[in-house]
């Protein structure tokens, strides 16, 4: 990656705030704040909306990859690598 920028995991984001319609402030759980400036208010609102949609809490354990994988692995043959991984984790 070249140029200025920051990379933060989505689950590290605590809150989002729009200031002056052109700035998106990202508050992180570890105390940092990031300021993203946009050339139009529409761009700022669109990124606020996208991030808010991505930050929606998981409503059930079944929505996680691990739960889906475990359910799928249980259906595999007893000699499969996936079943061996399931046995090793217990």
Residue range 1-57, CATH number = 2.40.50
pLDDT digits (tens, 9 = 90+) for 60-90: 766 677 777 778 878 888 788 776 776 776 6
Query: Facing residues of 24 across strands?
Result: 18, 36
Please tell me which residue, 12 or 82, carries the higher pLDDT value.
Answer: 12
Task: State the Cα–Cα distance between residues 35 and 28, nearest whole angstrom.
Answer: 11
Contacts of 16 (CB under 8 A, 6+ apart): 24, 25, 26, 27, 48, 51, 52, 55
pTM over 0.75? The answer is no
pLDDT band at 42 (very low <50, low <70, confident <90, very high): very high
Give the range among 9-13, 36-40, 65-69 with minimum mean pLDDT. Answer: 65-69
Q: Please check whether residue 13 is in contact with residue 33, taking contact to mean a CB–CB distance below 8 angstroms.
A: no
User: Do the bridges between strand 13-19 and strand 33-37 make them parallel or antiparallel, or are there none, so unpaired?
Assistant: unpaired
Question: Domain coordinates of the chain in residue numbers?
Answer: 1-57, 60-90
Per-residue pLDDT at 90: 62
């Amino acid at each position: 990656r070249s140029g200025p920028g920051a990379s933060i995991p989505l689950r590290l984001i605590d809150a989002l705030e729009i200031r002056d319609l052109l700035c998106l402030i990202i508050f992180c759980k570890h105390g940092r704040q990031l300021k993203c400036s946009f050339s139009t208010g529409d761009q700022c609102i669109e990124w606020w909306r996208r991030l808010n949609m991505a930050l929606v809490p998981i409503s059930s354990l079944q929505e996680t990859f691990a739960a889906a994988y475990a359910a799928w692995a249980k259906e595999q043959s007893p000699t499969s690598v996936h079943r061996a991984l399931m046995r090793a984790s217990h």
